[in-house]
Amino acid sequence: MLIAQLPIRCRDPPTARTAYLSTTDEPKPTSLSHPSANIYHNEESTIYPSTHSTKAHTQQIQRRKIMSELTYEQLAEATAGGAVALRSRLPLAPAGGTEDKVFPPSYAVESRADHKYAVETRQIGDKEVQTVLLDSVASQANRAEEALLEGWVADELAFPVPYVDFTGAKTDEEDLSDIGKLTALEAPHRIADAIFRDSLLDGILFRLSDVGQQITNATPRDATALYRYSPTALLFGVWDSTGPKGGLGSKFQRAYVSEIVGLDVQVGNKVGSRLDPLQIEKLSSEDTLYEHADPAQVWTINEDEAAKDKKGKPITIDRPSEINHGNIAPSIDSSAGGVTISGAVQTTVISLAALRKLRFGGRDRTKEAAAHTAIAALGIAALAYLYEMDYDLRSRCLLIPTEPQTLELVARDGSAPTVVDINRSVAAGILKRASEEASKAGIGWETSEIQLEPSPKLIELLAKSRKAAKTDKADDKADKE
């Protein structure tokens, strides 16, 4: 099970650029040194950078006072047709300040590429801004699922989460219990993942069980089974490409789309080196190191203790650096050396238009509206819980919000959106109410635990894979020799 992460809140240093929500329609001056500063705006609210001035702080407090918390009634009205989407635009800044580096995800590129980052020019307002992707749509979806899982594990959020329990799974040679419980919120293909396909529900292969067959036959025209047993698949999207229908399996588009982008990016360099205090550099030609037969002991100078390759020969180690001793010469890495940015923004859109495409058998609009609202409530909970898990995206990429989290209800006529507050407790309350209302309308979620067990063939496959992984290194070494 996951352990809930406690929120940690940081405040920018006085010199850091922050943002506030303007209470007037008139634009305010921005720093000319940052061309992307004035980037997100509508008729009622505009996000601008500023210093921690008294005026800006007062305006922010005033704006917060007149902003109400989202209610279930507002969400139900929006989902039924009162809005096209729910949108959150959260300004972020590096925890170390705008002069500090952050490290985006790196990608495989051609050898002649300048760097490994997803850098592109985006049109933001009336300006062209050089941006870098800090967290992709897929990665943000995974983080949102982790946030929902945190609430589910803590019994703060109640919704069906199928899982495969590997506790006690083992063979004569391998103990697989370290995997624990793997949920549909963690599996790469969600409920359609091969892990679920190859597991047992009440002793029957999942896709052959009654529940599994219902999920296999679910389509956007009748998504009742997915809604009942794994509603998050309807929020984040799923393609049933691993099931009995293969590539012809049903596709459900994602309604929750989010990404984090850095602005005004400048790509930098990083350096690396290692100075061994023991000064172990090399061995004489008469001395030999061996891989130890016991992986926990790593290496040995005794040939009798050496691991053997597939030909029965001891596996040798060519140099001390292979066992992490010795110096590493200083080097400069310009391909993945981090970036500096003027700021970042997390943009999240929950498409209510996409949810309204989902049907649930028949044409009962009351039932469908209740189901759509419950799925949207899951998205709001994901957004609120993710905010309190903080934005530590990876090593050296910690971002902090520069203002509280809000949500916009985006109208279809392009008018100024309604801006509301959301937080963890509000989101949990709305989800609970939405679930109850859907049940009253005749489309409730499964309330009993959906626990699967890995099938014997899956256990055997996993055990063989682990065994092969242990011998791969020895085989590679023998091939080189």
What is the secondary structure of 387-410 as a DSSP string?
Answer: HHT-EE-STT-EEEESS--EEEEE
**DSSP class of 433:** H
54 compared with 330, residue with greater pLDDT: 330
User: How far is C-alpha 49 from the geometric centre of its chain's CA atoms?
Assistant: 27
Mean pLDDT of 270-283: 90
**In this structure, is residue 475 part of a structural domain?**
no
Q: 261 and 362 share a domain? A: yes
Q: 316 and 367 share a domain? A: no
Confidence check: pLDDT of 59 > 80? no
Q: 310 and 364 share a domain? A: no
Which of 155, 162, 146 is closest to 236 using CA atoms?
A: 146
Q: What is the Cα–Cα distance from 177 to 168, expressed in whole angstroms? A: 5
Q: 95 and 75 share a domain? A: yes
Please name the residues in contact with 169: beta carbons below 8 A apart, sequence gap of 6 or more. Answer: 176, 177, 179, 453, 454, 459
**In this structure, is residue 59 part of a structural domain?**
yes
Q: 431 and 304 share a domain? A: no
Strands 266-267 vs 163-165: parallel, antiparallel or unpaired = unpaired
Q: 61 and 131 share a domain? A: yes
**In this structure, is residue 218 part of a structural domain?**
no
Helix (H) or strand (E) holding 120: strand 119-124
Sign of CA dihedral 251, 255, 260, 264: positive
Q: What is the Cα–Cα distance from 383 to 235, expressed in whole angstroms? A: 12
Nearest-5° Cα angle at 185, 345 to 228: 115
**In this structure, is residue 241 part of a structural domain?**
no
Q: 306 and 355 share a domain? A: no
Least confident of 48-62, 96-110, 227-241, 350-364: 48-62
Sign of CA dihedral 92, 94, 99, 103: negative
Mean pLDDT of 465-472: 84
* 3 state DSSP class of 118: coil
Name the residue range of residue 280's domain: 276-323
Mean pLDDT of 89-101: 96
**In this structure, is residue 328 part of a structural domain?**
no
**In this structure, is residue 355 part of a structural domain?**
yes
Q: 351 and 312 share a domain? A: no
For residue 67, the model assigns a pLDDT of 73
Count of C-beta atoms within a 10 Å radius of residue 404 = 15
Q: What is the mean pLDDT of the chain?
A: 87
pLDDT digits (tens, 9 = 90+) for 331-353: 998 899 999 999 999 999 999 99
**DSSP class of 163:** E
Please state the φ and ψ torsions of residue 173, each to the nearest 5 degrees.
-110, -25
Which of 298, 267, 230 is closest to 113 using CA atoms?
A: 267
- CA-based end-to-end distance of the chain: 44
Which of 440, 455, 475 corresponds to the end of one domain?
A: 440
Q: 312 and 369 share a domain? A: no
Label residues 168-180 b or e (16+ Cβ within 10 Å = b): ebeeeebebeeee
Strands 251-252 vs 256-263: parallel, antiparallel or unpaired = unpaired
Which of 466, 445, 463 is closest to 455 using CA atoms?
A: 463
> What's the domain count of the chain?
2
Per the listing, tokens 């199928």 go with 162
pLDDT band at 32 (very low <50, low <70, confident <90, very high): very low
Q: Are 367 and 441 in contact (CB under 8 A)?
A: yes
**In this structure, is residue 468 part of a structural domain?**
no
